[in-house]
Chains A and B, each alone.
Chain A
Amino acid sequence: MDQTFLVNVFGSCDRCFKQRALRPKSEQLNYCSLCAEIVKATEGLRLSQMLSSYSQSILCLVLAVHQVAERVEALGQFVMKTRRTLKGHGNKVLCMDWCKDKRRLVSSSQDGKVIVWDSFTTNKEHAVTMPCTWVMACAYAPSGCAIACGGLDNKCSVYPLTFDKNENMAAKKKSSVAMHTNYLSACSFTNSDMQILTASGDGTCALWDVESGQLLQSFHGHGADVLCLDLAPSETGNTFVSGGCDKKAMVWDMRSGQCVQAFETHESDINSVRYYPSGDAFASGSDDATCRLYDLRADREVAIYSKESIIFGASSVDFSLSGRLLFAGYNDYTINVWDVLKGSRVSILFGHENRVSTLRVSPDGTAFCSGSWDHTLRLGWAWAAKREL
């Protein structure tokens, strides 16, 4: 291997302006070793964003690289309201998921109905009646061609979506993909339609092959029911985080089945976990009425989002596209929007008449959808007020 001599040049770093030992870079820029690492890391982040994103707007970020803000700017005033209401479920809505086309979504309810909606026209496109009640988990396949759902039947079933009126969707269902020994609390497809990750009340998570129903990997470690899971957005990473009734949030390696990190600072059941868009952190919502942000590299909790007036548990959390806002749905029928960096609440949204059970931001980040025990789903997005100021 070639060995280049490291010349110790001392001088002013072009990035932090401190007197340090410099590592010469090609384009007449000299960085100290710390800054060199930081620049390399941000470049890496940009590349992974480029490779993993599906929309052109993400590429525009590269513009902002040269304008890194050193101070946290206060968020401007903006108003968010319910813009669409999806009515059609006859009972409590328990779970929902967006399709990657940013427009369709699937929702499941207590009476066993699973409905696919077009959120723009508010039409129902498909409906399936499951043979069980309390369908607590549903997911849209990445291709948009199938949905997965499960609940008190302890199974996860995959339904291919068909528009042929002669075909009965229930009859087309694949044999149950996942078999647990207690209720299914969460499910998610991995990057393709072929694998599905499930979490269950039996305290385990599992990775399944959809085609054969084979168990590929199981994850043991939670001391009680697992209530939620989320897959890491990183392209090279192979991890996911899960939260349970044992108040623990655990990060798992999908290949080995081992728990690589665990966090236990919540005071009650963790109802929802969601990764920060960069994949370096995740947020959790719990029955103790707080949401918390955990940093994976620092290996600890870094922020708590709570207020004395909020005493009901958070059932569902999700980040906005940039990660600046955290949307959380609560059991007191409201949605609170938090400023992730400042830790303060930006907005509180009313509208639901019973507890908010599920909340997801759309894949392009333009809207969010919340499902509630009041049988409805509501779509909201923001109007920017007074942008001239």
Chain B
Amino acid sequence: MAAGSAPLGGHPRVQRPHLSKMERMVVTMQDPDQGVRMRSQRLLVTVIPHAANGSDIVEWLIQKYSIAEDEALHLGSLLVQHGYLYPLRDPRRLELRPDETPYRFQTPYFWTSTLWPAAELDYAIYLAKKNIRKQGALVDHEKEQYHQLRRRISHAWDLVMMQAREQLRAAKQRRKGDRLVIACQEQTYWLVNRPPPGAPSVLEQGPGRGPCMAGRAPMVRALRACPRPPPRPECSHLPRPYLKFSSQHGPHDPIMSGCLPTGGPGVQLRPPGCASVVRSPHPENLSFWEACEELRHGGQARVPALVDAVYQQFLAPGAARWVNIDSRTMEQTLAGLTQPHRHVLDDAQRHIYLLMKKDSYPRFLKSDLYRDLLAEAVVPLETKRRVFPFTRKPRHSSPSPALRPASASGEPVGGDGDGET
């Protein structure tokens, strides 16, 4: 939980950068000229200086960061929840109210980054003080904690009680206003670090990150610099490729056009356009490409069998679906087949892909199938707007893909039939 040792390269990890950002924000808020409007707050008979209204805080956040009110309120609430602001009245609830409720800024001594992790001893002293002051009337969870601590650090309990009494005595000698403020500050600190049950803990972190010497894989190659690719010419119109892509796809981006989810049927293995490739003079190209994909992404155990099948069907002289690859690639591929592995057909696959791109695709653009698709394409978006499938729950659910039997198009089925129903 505490900062880990410096990693390779000697750059210490900054723990929880959001805390330092919050601190900077809070310091800016306290600036006498540019900060939040401060005023003295009257609490019963005491006057507490440098307090700010909830509404002033929200207003300041809106002005400073050009955000809307809901975001400003949310941001302010986070500041309070992390203990950088505390309410003067009813300090048990750490929330920001956008009204006349007065708040003050936490002293840097009690900032999470300064005093963390919270020490058990300090908590024991705090509870002991509270216990003495309230003569045993602690809140449930605090009472429980108090007894637990007493059992756990019984050896140091005398020290705890002594410290508690000492601090209470010193507090009595302060002015009432200071006493109130210090009590609020301390209470806020402990609310953040020891939240009552049910309240979310803002300081909770996931599993520890950062380098730990145990369990680190051997870093033999870690320090070697990555090979840099050859320098590419500086592109002055960088947004253009993204412009082009997004504007082409934008009109059909369902989340932007408000298209509702329809829970479409399962996956088609081949998009309709491929039908034309299949019907073209060289249908074996697509089949070959698909077979190569299956080899690359399929199970290790099937590699020898698949390679053999591909050779028999596509590459052997006189094969039923012989693919037209140039002689050099064919030579290399055939040589590689003696030691079959997942990537042995990569070069051939790339060649066929480029061939399809240059040959079959332009023909597809001119075909009837494409023209029909275009005609159909204009309609779907318009009709979808009228149908609201979400006004009531769908009566029947679509069958889970796990229930469907293996499709005839040879889609790889997980697990060789294990667990298939």
A24 at the A/B interface (Cβ < 8 Å)?
Answer: no
A54 to B414, CA, bound (A): 20
Contact A224/B256 with A144-B400, A324-B250 known, Cβ cut-off 8 Å: no
* 0/1 string, B387-421, CB within 8 A of A gives 1: 00010011001101111000000011111101111
Q: Which residue of B lies closest to A45 (CB)?
A: B245
CB–CB A321/B254 < 8 A: yes
CB–CB A145/B401 < 8 A: yes
B14 at the A/B interface (Cβ < 8 Å)?
Answer: yes
CB–CB B255/A311 < 8 A: no
CB–CB A101/B401 < 8 A: yes
Provide the main secondary structure of the chain A interface. Answer: loop
A46 to B262, CA, bound (A): 25
Contact A162/B256 with A101-B266, A181-B215, A211-B300 known, Cβ cut-off 8 Å: no
Q: How many residues of B contact A (CB 8 A)?
A: 120
Q: Which residue of A lies closest to B238 (CB)?
A: A302
Q: Which residue of A lies closest to B68 (CB)?
A: A348
CB–CB B256/A78 < 8 A: yes
A121 to B402, CA, bound (A): 17
Q: How far is the CB of B132 from chain A (nearest CB, A)?
A: 36
A100 to B402, CA, bound (A): 12
Q: Return chain A residues, CB-CB under 8 Å to B376.
A: 56
A236 at the A/B interface (Cβ < 8 Å)?
Answer: yes
A152 to B207, CA, bound (A): 8
CB–CB B207/A163 < 8 A: no
CB–CB A367/B411 < 8 A: no
CB–CB A190/B18 < 8 A: no
Q: Which residue of A lies closest to B412 (CB)?
A: A192
* 0/1 string, B332-359, CB within 8 A of A gives 1: 0000000000110010011001001100
Which of B50-58, B150-158, B220-228, B314-322 interfaces with chain A? B220-228
CB–CB B301/A341 < 8 A: no
Q: Return chain A residues, CB-CB under 8 Å to B394.
A: 120-121
B268 at the A/B interface (Cβ < 8 Å)?
Answer: yes
Contact A65/B248 with A160-B415, A297-B232, A311-B18 known, Cβ cut-off 8 Å: yes
Which residue of A60, A78, A152 contacts B377 across the interface (Cβ within 8 Å)? A60
Which of A103, A183, A354 has the most chain B CB atoms inside 10 A of its CB?
Answer: A103
Which residue of B220, B245, B357 contacts A278 across the interface (Cβ within 8 Å)? B245
B32 at the A/B interface (Cβ < 8 Å)?
Answer: no
B217 at the A/B interface (Cβ < 8 Å)?
Answer: yes
| A165-213 residues at the B interface, CB under 8 angstroms | 167, 172, 174, 180-183, 190-195, 201-204, 209-212
A371 at the A/B interface (Cβ < 8 Å)?
Answer: no
Q: Return chain B residues, CB-CB under 8 Å to A2.
A: none
Q: Return chain B residues, CB-CB under 8 Å to A297.
A: 232, 235
* 0/1 string, A344-379, CB within 8 A of B gives 1: 000010100110000001101111100001100000
Contact A146/B414 with A47-B356, A245-B13, A307-B65 known, Cβ cut-off 8 Å: yes
CB–CB B242/A340 < 8 A: yes
A235 to B293, CA, bound (A): 9
Contact A323/B412 with A62-B374, A261-B229, A367-B261 known, Cβ cut-off 8 Å: no
- Tally of contacts, chain A with chain B, CB under 8 A: 388
Which residue of B65, B244, B294, B343 contacts A309 across the interface (Cβ within 8 Å)? B65
A379 to B297, CA, bound (A): 31
CB–CB A50/B357 < 8 A: no
| A248-297 residues at the B interface, CB under 8 angstroms | 250, 255, 258-262, 267-269, 276-278, 280-281, 287-289, 295, 297
CB–CB B246/A245 < 8 A: no
A61 at the A/B interface (Cβ < 8 Å)?
Answer: yes
Q: Return chain A residues, CB-CB under 8 Å to B227.
A: 258-260
A54 to B235, CA, bound (A): 33
A258 to B229, CA, bound (A): 12
B241 at the A/B interface (Cβ < 8 Å)?
Answer: yes
Q: Which residue of B lies closest to A76 (CB)?
A: B256
Size bin of chain A's contact surface: 35 or more
CB–CB A83/B390 < 8 A: yes
B70 at the A/B interface (Cβ < 8 Å)?
Answer: yes
CB–CB B377/A193 < 8 A: no
CB–CB B252/A203 < 8 A: no
CB–CB B217/A161 < 8 A: no
Which residue of A58, A221, A260, A384 contacts B221 across the interface (Cβ within 8 Å)? A221
A154 to B390, CA, bound (A): 41
Q: Return chain A residues, CB-CB under 8 Å to B273.
A: 50, 59
A331 at the A/B interface (Cβ < 8 Å)?
Answer: yes
B178 at the A/B interface (Cβ < 8 Å)?
Answer: no
CB–CB A364/B400 < 8 A: no
CB–CB A143/B414 < 8 A: yes
Which residue of A83, A209, A224 contacts B210 across the interface (Cβ within 8 Å)? A224
Q: How far is the CB of B163 from chain A (nearest CB, A)?
A: 35
Q: Which residue of B lies closest to A346 (CB)?
A: B256
Which residue of A276, A312, A313, A324 contacts B253 across the interface (Cβ within 8 Å)? A324
Q: Which residue of A lies closest to B419 (CB)?
A: A160
Q: Which residue of B lies closest to A103 (CB)?
A: B263
A203 to B200, CA, bound (A): 31
Q: How far is the CB of A194 from chain B (nearest CB, A)?
A: 4
CB–CB B238/A298 < 8 A: yes
CB–CB B400/A161 < 8 A: yes
CB–CB B299/A102 < 8 A: no
Q: Which residue of B lies closest to A160 (CB)?
A: B419
Q: How far is the CB of B420 from chain A (nearest CB, A)?
A: 7
CB–CB B401/A64 < 8 A: no
Binding site for A on B (CB under 8 A): 7-9, 13-14, 16-18, 21-22, 25, 61, 64-65, 67, 70-71, 74-75, 78, 200, 204, 206-207, 209-212, 215-217, 219-222, 226-227, 229, 231-232, 234-235, 238-239, 241-268, 271-274, 293-294, 296-301, 342-343, 346, 349-350, 353, 356-357, 361, 365, 370, 373-374, 376-378, 380, 390, 393-394, 397-398, 400-403, 411-416, 418-421
Binding site for B on A (CB under 8 A): 42-47, 50-51, 53-65, 67-70, 72-73, 75, 78, 80, 83, 99-104, 118, 120-121, 123, 125, 134, 136, 141, 143-146, 152, 154, 160-164, 167, 172, 174, 180-183, 190-195, 201-204, 209-212, 214, 216, 220-225, 227, 235-236, 238, 245-246, 250, 255, 258-262, 267-269, 276-278, 280-281, 287-289, 295, 297-299, 302, 307-309, 311-313, 320-325, 331-334, 340-341, 348, 350, 353-354, 361-362, 364-368, 373-374, 381-384, 387
Beyond known contacts A145-B414, A324-B246, A332-B78: 5 more, CB 8 A cutoff: A145-B419, A182-B212, A227-B209, A297-B232, A364-B261
A-B contact list, 30 entries, CB within 8 Å: A42-B244, A47-B356, A51-B271, A56-B376, A59-B271, A60-B252, A64-B251, A125-B400, A146-B415, A160-B419, A163-B402, A163-B421, A167-B419, A202-B215, A223-B219, A224-B8, A236-B349, A245-B13, A258-B226, A287-B17, A289-B18, A289-B21, A322-B249, A332-B75, A341-B242, A353-B200, A364-B261, A365-B253, A365-B255, A373-B204
Task: Across the A-B interface, give the 9 residue pairs with the lowest CB-CB distance, nearest first.
Answer: A144-B401, A384-B258, A160-B419, A193-B414, A322-B249, A322-B253, A60-B377, A309-B65, A311-B21
